[in-house]
Structure 1
Amino acid sequence: MVGRGDPLGEMEAGMAVDLYREDDHYILHADLPGLDPGSLTLDVDGQLLTLRGHRTLGDFSGAKWLVRDRRRGLIERHILLGDNVKTADISAHYTCGVLNVLLPVDPDRPRRKIPVRYGSG
């Protein structure tokens, strides 16, 4: 399972994620505070999982900004899944600004160890 970057090699900002394996599934947590919940979508195309949402911040037309770090607009993250993920069984829940995604692993597709030979022959 690969979890970093997008297929075009561009660094994606605005969506911090944690991704780990626990027993028979991977778990992904994405921090999305202030995201408009109705705009949140997850799509799977082959082995590419796309998380997408929109963050709207208030109208501050008269403000004189001192610091402005909070990203607004479209926020997107691409995660390349291994072929052992059962994409049809992915589930997600969004609460308290955190998106939690459960990615079940197919038990019939175990990891394979590859022996490494040493020496000049």
Structure 2
Amino acid sequence: MLRFDPFSDFDALTRGLLSNQAGSNRSPRFMPMDLCKVDDHYLLTADLPGVDPGSVDVNVDNGTLTISAHRTARSEESVQWLANERFFGTYRRQLALGDGIDASAISATYENGVLSVTIPMAERAKPRKIEVAVSGDQKSIEPTTVEAG
């Protein structure tokens, strides 16, 4: 199989010039993720296909959530690559958590290459209804009609 792509070298050069990361062009550039609010918690989902589940690390320190994972490169010397586009190395993403997060109750699962992190809101940050008290000394004012005459 012969592959002809006259722009691949130009694309690689452009990516290298626009990237502020040092190292090989095979190292991961980003960890795609989604973040949404569901009822009383936030749900973060991150794509980490091919990552060893044992390398996934989620931790919270001083209001910062850090996610890291590692995908190992294929180490077979006898392989002749026809296409080699998948990144390998360490992925890392950090998010600042606000004051309204219950950091002690954060949980995470990794299934089918997707990391799901549940970030619950603290009780004090959840919306609540404030009941308005009415004092007993109030007198009601009844509407009256005035006759012209």
Equivalenced residue count is: 102
Equivalent residue for 1:31? 47
Q: How much identity, in percent, do the aligned residues show? A: 40
Q: Which TM-score applies when normalising by structure 1?
A: 0.73
Comparing both chains, which one has the higher relative contact order based on Cα–Cα distances under 8 Å and sequence gaps of 6 or more?
1
Aligned-pair CA distance for 1:53: 1.0
The two structures, once aligned, show a CA RMSD in angstroms of 2.2
Partners of 2:123 and 2:104 in 1: CA distance: 14
Kept in 2: contact 1:29–1:98 (CA 8 A): yes
1:85 correspondence with 2:101: yes
Q: Which TM-score applies when normalising by structure 2?
A: 0.61
1:39-97 Cα distance to aligned partner (Å, 9 max, x none): 11111011100001110131253555554332211111111111111000000000000
More strand by share: 1
Unaligned runs of 5+ in 1: 1-9, 112-121
Kept in 2: contact 1:24–1:107 (CA 8 A): no
Equivalent residue for 1:95? 111
Which structure: larger Rg? 2
Equivalent residue for 1:109? 125
1:80-119 Cα distance to aligned partner (Å, 9 max, x none): 11111100000000000000000000131258xxxxxxxx
1:22 to 13, 17, 38: 38
Unaligned runs of 5+ in 2: 1-19, 22-27, 128-149
